Amino acid sequence: MSRLAVAVLAAAFAFPALAAPEPGPDAALHALFEREFRRSQEEFPEFATMRGNHAFNDRLHDKSPQAIARRKAHVKAVLAELDGFDPAKLSAQDRLSLGMMREGLRRADAMNALYGDLPFGAGMGEGWLQASPAFGPQALLAMLARSTPFRDARDYENYLKRLGAVPRLLGEATALMEAGMKSGWLPPRAAMSKVSGQLAAFSEGDPASSPLYAPFRQFPPGLPAGEQARLAEAGKQAVAQSVQPAFAALRRFVDDKYLPACREDLAASKLPAGMAYYQKMVRDMTTTDLTAKEIHEIGLGEVRRIRAEMDKVIAASGFEGSFAQFVQFLRTDPRFYHRSADEMLAHYRDIAKQADAELPRFFAELPRLPYGIRAMPAFMGDNAEHYTSGALDGSRAGFFEANTNNLSRRPKHDMPAVLLHEAVPGHHLQSARAQELKGIPAFRRSSHYVAYGEGWALYAEALGEEMGLYRDAYAKFGRLSMEMWRACRLVVDTGLHAFGWTREQSIRYLADTAGIQESAAIAEVDRYILNPGQALGYKIGELRIKALRAKATRALGERFDLRRFHNALLDDGALPLTLLEARIDEWIAREKAAS
């Protein structure tokens, strides 16, 4: 976010001591917000499904050059329309909503301009990277199958139409990848080795074993047996005739043409737009004006601080040996690992119940939406655990997806921090609270900023210390290892994309410094290579949130209420970090006035 944009948005909250009465909601502005939110769901029907709007469950979004060009033009048109509203005549929340929508559109417009005449767009899923180990049609379509409701025959018929659209979607994705080959917008080959195997799970074998056939393996009890048999057969035919051939063609293209063309160098600054591309990603992902060098130095400082804390925990555990020996002990002792996926899931659910019981001590208001814990699909391999948000209308719970695919790489002592990050008080609590907020437009209730969302989730890991959920030295070390991992990201991401680090150097630094499994370090480094800047948001966001807590504590003294502070952080929905600071300043002023 630019300094000018920050100044304009922050000014929205600079109220005089005797402010004029707040205006009511601007009807025309809210109509625009609602129109644009509906349009975004129609343009990106996968997003609609994820958010609980099932009006478009029969389609997949259009990535054709014409559709992307239309969306680029629409960004400019809406920006011009927003310029017709005078912030001085709006309520505080309307000014915030106006500024957020305008800033999001400006970011998209800037990315579109950076692509120039190329067919890529800044919209969801229409950029130059169409397939990677953590992103692509293989991940998106499987997630859709798990997020779509199947209540009656109509839901299945809509899903069959969606499966029928897979060949078009993959053809358009292939065309975008071909455009990347011609223009030099290509990922590094070294980080792409797992893609072919992931595509194989969708392109071959028994259609009834496909991840996209899963909804046809269990039907709602009210559906007649004859209908079940008909739909099950139709599902097999759709997978065999539409899905598998399309994925097989994509896999052949990836293996025979795309991977051989991919880049040897790793840095995002070596892409056609040069360092400007990486700098933009850094700004977008951190919502700050920090430079790559500043972030690199912050990371090195955090690594030193956290390492000192880790050494104290090792000493307190009674272990006699070096840091490396302690890490090796944790990696090899069988007591630290589960014997089955069911055992791991049961352990996660036990941690979740412990965390749930502590929440009222830390939050003045809690969301109503529940969350579940389930295993990540096998085809995702060693990808990181993640959270899938619930429906915006509360009709579907959120889910923490636990990686049970390789138990030897998921130690028990890491699990409390992972659960706190992905579920409560991390991603689920934050996103569910945002979805249930009243009086703000829908686009804000479903918005996401990496630095805010991931920063909050990393802060939630640290909050586990106050919640009493790290009950032995091993769990404490696991939490610190997780924090060290995020500090290392600041060093490694900037090292890779701005300072010439190699893949091997990055893997070694992450494995040795954070004490994580080498296989996990490999997967992480490949993720940073393919998604530049994203990994920076975690620690930058957490540090800013901790700084705001310290600021509020100093300002309010004995009047500081941690429960109310946490809700102040959450109760505007996701925000850029600069605006979050402005809102907390306002909250501090209100708390002082109220007392």
The domain segmentation of the chain, as residue ranges, is: 3-126, 137-264, 282-539
What is the torsion angle, in degrees rounded to the nearest 10, for the CA atoms of residue 248, residue 251, residue 253 and residue 255?
A: -140
Instruction: Please give the pLDDT value at position 4.
Output: 41
Cβ distance 488 to 509 under 8 Å?
A: yes
- The rounded distance, in Å, linking the Cα atoms of 290 and 287 is 9
pTM confidence score: 0.91
Instruction: Please give the pLDDT value at position 515.
Output: 83
| Backbone φ/ψ region at 494: left (φ over 0), alpha (ψ -120 to 50), beta | alpha
Spatial neighbors of 95 by CB under 8 A, at least 6 apart, are 12, 87
Cβ distance 264 to 189 under 8 Å?
A: yes
Cβ distance 409 to 519 under 8 Å?
A: yes
Cβ distance 129 to 135 under 8 Å?
A: yes
Q: How far is CA 425 from the centre of its chain?
A: 16
32-84 per-position pLDDT tens digit: 999 999 999 999 999 999 988 999 999 999 999 999 999 999 999 999 999 99
Terminal alpha carbon distance of the chain: 35
Select from 231, 263, 268 the least CA-distant residue to 154: 231
- Give the dihedral sign, CA 103/126/278/575: positive
Q: What is the DSSP letter of 243?
A: I
Return the H-helix or E-strand segment holding 400: strand 398-402
258-310 per-position pLDDT tens digit: 999 999 999 999 999 999 999 999 999 999 999 999 999 999 999 999 999 99
Task: Give the bridge partners for 385, in sequence order.
Answer: none
Instruction: Please give the pLDDT value at position 20.
Output: 62
Based on its alpha-carbon atoms, the radius of gyration of the chain, rounded to whole angstroms, reads 24
Q: Which regions of the chain are under pLDDT 50?
A: 1-8, 11-18
Q: Which amino acid is at 475?
A: A
Q: Which amino acid is at 300?
A: L
Cβ distance 383 to 133 under 8 Å?
A: yes
Instruction: Please give the pLDDT value at position 17.
Output: 42
Lookup: tokens for 51: 């958010």
Instruction: Please give the pLDDT value at position 95.
Output: 94
Let me know if 206 is exposed, middle or buried by CB neighbors in 10 A (0-12, 13-18, 19+). Answer: exposed
**371-375 and 398-402 strand pairing:** parallel
Which residue is listed with tokens 């069911």?
Answer: 342
Instruction: Please give the pLDDT value at position 8.
Output: 44
Cβ distance 63 to 176 under 8 Å?
A: yes
Instruction: Please give the pLDDT value at position 135.
Output: 85
Return the H-helix or E-strand segment holding 237: helix 225-238
